[in-house]
Amino acid sequence: MGALSSWYVFAALGLFPASQADGGLALSTPQFPAMTVWLGKQRLRILTDQDASTAPFIQSLRANGSDQAQSWLDLDTLRATNGLRYTLSTTPTAWATTVDPTGPAASATSLRLSADGQASRTESPATATATVAFSDSMAQPGTVEIRSGSQVVAHAPLGIGGAATVTIPATTPVGTYRLTATFVPADPARVTGSTSSAQGFAVTEAPSTTS
């Protein structure tokens, strides 16, 4: 039914639909020195500086004159691109090996404070529970920081299921705070950091006792 033929054409172009569920194409070495592809009325010119049969490795790639460091091109970028220029090499290179092919996934952080947003300095330490949601549904390691403005009040590693419980120290000075939970990923190349909306939190003096 022509499926294998279409796979060969994509592979020869160096633009391959590795996953039909994702809106983009994986990049590999074009097999011809010059090709023209029409995307509707958009003209895409693909050029290489050497014969791929003797120089099969990609040294660098420029898309519309700008360096392309990823081995993936999303469809929106592809539609806006009129030229791909490959510099090839006879030996293996490090091109596209230091960045995630599709770019970092997005994350979103939410925050829930214990004790209705209040804590007394003599009671048990207050806690903050942060939940991080990932757009690709795969939780990534990192740290959750509870911040008051730019100051980090407390932090804890992100646990299983994208949740972290952070203890707010009993030594926190009396006062009213606007706290946020910030997710700091261990690998920013795989997932973006995110910050929750701010919530009010009050630390009060110990209740007085009478004899």
126 and 39 in a single domain? The answer is no
% of the chain with per-residue pLDDT over 70: 90
Q: What pLDDT was estimated at residue 122?
A: 56
Q: How far is CA 153 from CA 18, 144, 157, in A?
A: 44, 11, 14
pLDDT beyond 90 at 2: no
67 and 9 in a single domain? The answer is yes
Residue 163 lies in a domain: yes
126-134: strand order across its sheet: 107-113, 126-134, 163-168
Cβ atoms within 10 Å of 181's Cβ, excluding its own: 27
145 and 114 in a single domain? The answer is yes
pLDDT beyond 70 at 24: yes
Residue 98 lies in a domain: no
The pTM of the full predicted model, rounded to 2 decimals, is 0.57
Name the domain boundary from 54, 89, 124: 89
Higher pLDDT, 121 or 52: 52
138 and 196 in a single domain? The answer is yes
Name the domain boundary from 45, 61, 89: 89
Residue 102 lies in a domain: no
Segment of 33-37, 126-130, 138-142 carrying the highest mean pLDDT: 33-37
User: Which structural domain, as residue segments, surrounds residue 118?
Assistant: 107-204
Tell me the CATH number at 153.
2.60.40.10
pLDDT beyond 70 at 95: yes
CA distance 186 to 142: 4
Residue whose tokens read 């909306």? 197
Q: Are 136 and 171 in contact (CB under 8 A)?
A: no
% of the chain with per-residue pLDDT over 90: 48
Domain total of the chain? 2
pLDDT beyond 80 at 149: yes
The confidence band for 209, taking pLDDT boundaries of 50, 70 and 90, is: low
Name the domain boundary from 57, 89, 121: 89
Residue 44 lies in a domain: yes
61 and 18 in a single domain? The answer is yes
Residue 101 lies in a domain: no
Written as six digits, the tokens of 125 are 């330490």
pLDDT per residue as tens digits for the range 166-194: 988 878 888 888 999 999 999 887 788 99
Q: What pLDDT was estimated at residue 148?
A: 92
Compute the mean pLDDT over every residue in the chain, rounded to the nearest whole number. Answer: 87
pLDDT beyond 60 at 135: yes
111 and 84 in a single domain? The answer is no
Residue 112 lies in a domain: yes
